[in-house]
Amino acid sequence: MINNLKIKSLVLVLTSVFVFTACSSKNEVTEYNKPALYWYNKMLTQISAGSLDEADDTYTSLESEHRNSPLIATSLLILVNSHIDEEEYSLANFYLDEYIKRFALSKNIDYARYLKIKANFLGFTYQLRDQELVENTIKDIADFQARYKGSPYMPLVDTINARLYMAKASLDLSIANLYEKKGKKQAVAFYNEKVKESWINPEEIEPVNVPYYRSIFE
């Protein structure tokens, strides 16, 4: 009697597992070959719920099944802004590079290039380390100013440009001060000259604030 109950219980458990697995497999199987609007709406829902990783995966489905859909461009810009909001600047730049490569002739290309400048600027967290990022972003700004003179984003780009030049000047000034402590007058003169090139009035330069736990490495 006891053995029969054990066998019946085992059969019931195995049956439940089979049914559950079958239902799960069915749900997974149905998640393909969907209209572009389905993937787009699903992505928006996931972003609204704060599930960016899932939204990234859903975009992949949209892009894979509907590569030429007009929703691709909009989806890329939505993902860019979402990742910027979450301070995930590398992912934002990944999508921006994709947008700029595929939609270089889009009427929104100046917006995309502004967002790339913005993402780089916001990602500039270690001012005494990211010299290359500063230089590259300043070059991107110069290119933006030359290409999109009538862009509504120009005032924002100009503001970022001014802040980056101040950061660059602050960096050069800190290097000059370091060389001054070591008595290297020629190097001091060189970097002081770079400060003047970056910022008109050195007295206006705000020093870079470095937390004490990082200052020993700067």
Per-residue pLDDT, 163: 86
Per-residue pLDDT, 44: 97
* Pick from 174, 166, 173: nearest CA to 199: 166
The reply to whether 73 and 118 lie within a common domain is no
Domain that holds residue 48: 35-106
Per-residue pLDDT, 41: 97
The reply to whether 114 and 101 lie within a common domain is no
Q: What is the pLDDT of residues 43-82, one digit of tens each?
A: 999 999 999 999 999 999 999 999 999 999 999 999 999 9
- What is the CATH classification number for the domain harbouring 69? 1.25.40.10
Enumerate residue ranges in the chain where pLDDT < 50: 1-29, 210-218
Per-residue pLDDT, 191: 80
Q: 145 vs 107, 118, 128, 168, CA distance in Å?
A: 16, 14, 26, 19
Per-residue pLDDT, 70: 94
